[in-house]
Chains A and B, each alone.
Chain A
Amino acid sequence: AQSVTQLGSHVSVSEGALVLLRCNYSSSVPPYLFWYVQYPNQGLQLLLKYTTGATLVKGINGFEAEFKKSETSFHLTKPSAHMSDAAEYFCAVSGPGTASKLTFGTGTRLQVTL
């Protein structure tokens, strides 16, 4: 079975500040890890993903995440927050073959203040 835990249901940062959203995973097979963003009244949009290879992955809108196997983590960061980053962010895990069911965390709502 696979699962993800997102620490902090709400995170508030000032515009221009570092964004750090935390995600820890549990998986019995090599995981595929994803971050999705959801803006109000919209569907989920893929920000970035890790499947194999380079552990630091870059995504859209200046976001990046690093896969750390030793820490079972896949935290999402952005050096400088923008007002338009305010949204709900979901971490998700799947895996190869029969582990390919996509399992989501509970989400983190990011608020960006002036």
Chain B
Amino acid sequence: DARVTQTPRHKVTEMGQEVTMRCQPILGHNTVFWYRQTMMQGLELLAYFRNRAPLDDSGMPKDRFSAEMPDATLATLKIQPSEPRDSAVYFCASGFERGYTFGSGTRLTVV
């Protein structure tokens, strides 16, 4: 089965450091989402792309977060500088409007 691949699976970093999370969407999928999951807030949509163009990043703190799709095989989510409140599981999903596949997530801990 085709998979959405996210790296790294786990990341522990110190406050103030830059964090980059990567996602390899399934080949041919035209839409990519980035979500953040925490116990308090549940699943929050951070940003999404269609055909590599950003459609909505209103859920993302603009001062520290950035999301890009440099090519069709890679989506990135960067946090600079990271803060303890950014600790969460970050999921990438790809697909079409009639169905999406999620990656296994990146568990980020900022200490």
Q: Pick the contact of B102 from A45, A51, A96 — CB < 8 Å?
A: A45
Chain A: minimal CB distance from B22 (Å): 15
Of B42-50, B62-70, B74-82, the one with at least 4 CB within 8 A of chain A: B42-50
- B97 contact from A42, A90, A100, Cβ within 8 A: A100
The residues of B that contact A95 with a CB separation of less than 8 Å are: 97
Taking CB atoms and an 8 Å cut-off, the chain B residues in 41-97 that contact chain A are: 42-43, 45, 48, 50, 55-56, 91, 93, 97
Q: Is the CB of B56 within 8 A of A102?
A: no
Q: How many angstroms between the C-alpha atoms of A56 and B22 in the bound complex? A: 37
Give the dominant DSSP class at B's interface: strand
**A: contact size bracket:** 20 to 34
A32-B97, A100-B31, A101-B48 as given contacts; A42 in contact with B104, CB under 8 Å: yes
- 9 A-B residue pairings within 8 Å (CB atoms): A44-B91, A46-B100, A51-B99, A90-B43, A95-B97, A101-B45, A102-B33, A104-B43, A106-B42
Chain B residues in the interface with A (C-beta under 8 A): 31, 33, 35, 42-43, 45, 48, 50, 55-56, 91, 93, 97-105
| A residues at B contact (CB < 8 Å) | 32, 34, 36, 42-46, 49, 51, 90, 94-97, 100-104, 106-107
